[in-house]
Amino acid sequence: MKKKLALILSLMVCGAAFAGCGGGSSKVDSKTTENTSKADTSASGDTSTDEPAEKSASEKLLAEYPVNDGAYDFTQGATENMLARSLLNRGDTSRLAAKIQRAVDDPKAVTNICYLGDSITAGSGASGSAKQYTNLITAWWEENLSLYVLGTNAGIGATDSYLAVHRAYRDVPQDSDIIFIEFINDQDNELYQATMDSLVRYCLALENQPAVILIEPSTEGGGSPQGSHLKVAETYDLPMISYHDAIIPEIDAGNFQWKDTSNDNVHPNDAGHAVMAQCVLNLFDQVKGDLENESKEVTTFDPAAVVSPTGDRFAGATLGSADTPELVEVVDEGTFTEKAQFGSFNGGWGSKTGGSAVFKIKCKNLGILYNKNVNGTFGSIAVKVDDNAAVIVDGDFSGGWGSYPKSDEIFSSDETAEHTVTVEFINGDTNPDFEILNWLIS
């Protein structure tokens, strides 16, 4: 523990951080502004009776590991109680123990760590790459276990687990040993429980049997999707690390302020990234220090044996583009003849003159990934699946913090079938631009 704290504290510098959605903006990810849910901190049960309500997992940990007795300097790192509260669900650590044991036995063994997330994972809020929580974790592994670490940062600003479950096959290395999943842009509702459920199932089923660990940040005021994510973690007995539960009770108690942890309303600053890393490394230290008592039998995931709490609604999710004609047939490209591309998303269709296009897509569920653009020329389209009511998708983000790839759910059903998908600009919309980056197909 002392060695780990020395590493973290030596890299910790508070202030002078850049924030934003994967870049230099000082604003929160757009979807975070919609995330008004509170974390798993309230009691559950029927409060109309005289029976005391059962405490939530967060409340139980807070009762056992209370807040600091008075003001605390956040730049000094997490207290022991903060670290204890952050381990909201320890879960089955057999997979993690196996990866650590291999590194201990063979320091030259290559460990593949994937960080899948949004702008926090991409590094927003940190003043440099060495201060990002992802690289602090990688640095600990190199110092304490083995020198050979391949770190894959699959963080994309302003995105959520709905997009992630569709891009995981592309962005998560098949030979990953450890996969961290972090999405503050999710909301605490059924959709995001379903997307996280299918995402976790996909990761657990990878042949290399990776350890899958969920990380739960917080927005200013305590907004967090960890309630729905916790249900998934408990179903699959996964470790869940709650940065939210580490810091929010301290802030509520007046021991330090949100501005000590972040330069905006969501992205951790250098001190925040360091504490996020500490919360993860607390689990690593526990497992490493008790390897002899860890299970030597790694838990194998059998999709047929573990019932999905959401019906694995997004199983087989993928991205469809002009580069995958076997997934998306262009019946009539109409005015969508421009090539559209944003970041790592290629093969899209764009129009600069309004108009329409028609596609055929075989799916059970369908979403759209599009360019939410700040330049003031992007308009709205109506997306219609067969004879269902059209869904309006607005590409305009003029005055916003920056353009970004936005995903919207369009259609959901119980059966896979071929559907006709019509895209048409809204009558009277004077903005002629729109870019479909990819179709989200499952």
Side chain identity at residue 146, one-letter code: S
What are 202-206's contacts with CB under 8 Å, separation 24+? 202/165, 202/168, 202/169, 202/315, 202/317, 203/168, 203/172, 203/176, 203/179, 204/236, 204/301, 205/301, 205/303, 206/172, 206/174, 206/176
**Residue ranges per structural domain of the chain:** 57-290, 318-441
Q: Quick one: what percent of the chain has pLDDT higher than 70?
A: 89
User: Alpha helices, DSSP H only, in 314-353?
Assistant: none
Distance CA 362, CA 147 (A): 46
- pLDDT tens digits, residue range 182-225? 999 999 999 999 999 999 999 999 999 999 999 999 999 999 99
More confident residue, 259 or 5: 259
Q: Is the pLDDT score of 44 beyond 80? A: no
What pLDDT shows up at residue 100? 97
Which of the listed CATH numbers 3.40.50.720, 2.60.40.420, 3.40.50.880, 3.40.50.1110 matches domain 57-290? 3.40.50.1110
- pLDDT tens digits, residue range 66-105? 999 999 999 999 999 999 999 999 999 999 999 999 999 9
Reported confidence tier of residue 38, pLDDT bands at 50, 70, 90: very low
Positive or negative, the CA dihedral 27, 30, 33, 37 is: negative
Short-list 365, 363, 340, CA closest to 350: 340
Domain 318-441 sits in CATH at 2.60.120.260
- pLDDT tens digits, residue range 120-168? 999 999 999 999 999 999 999 999 999 899 999 999 999 999 999 999 9
Reported confidence tier of residue 229, pLDDT bands at 50, 70, 90: very high
Reported confidence tier of residue 49, pLDDT bands at 50, 70, 90: low
Question: E strands, 58-195, where?
Answer: 87-89, 111-117, 149-155, 178-182
What pLDDT shows up at residue 106? 95
Stated pTM of the model: 0.90
Reported confidence tier of residue 284, pLDDT bands at 50, 70, 90: very high
> Mean of the per-residue pLDDT values for the chain?
90
Short-list 20, 17, 18, CA closest to 401: 20
Reported confidence tier of residue 50, pLDDT bands at 50, 70, 90: low
- pLDDT tens digits, residue range 170-192? 999 999 999 999 999 999 999 99
What pLDDT shows up at residue 430? 85
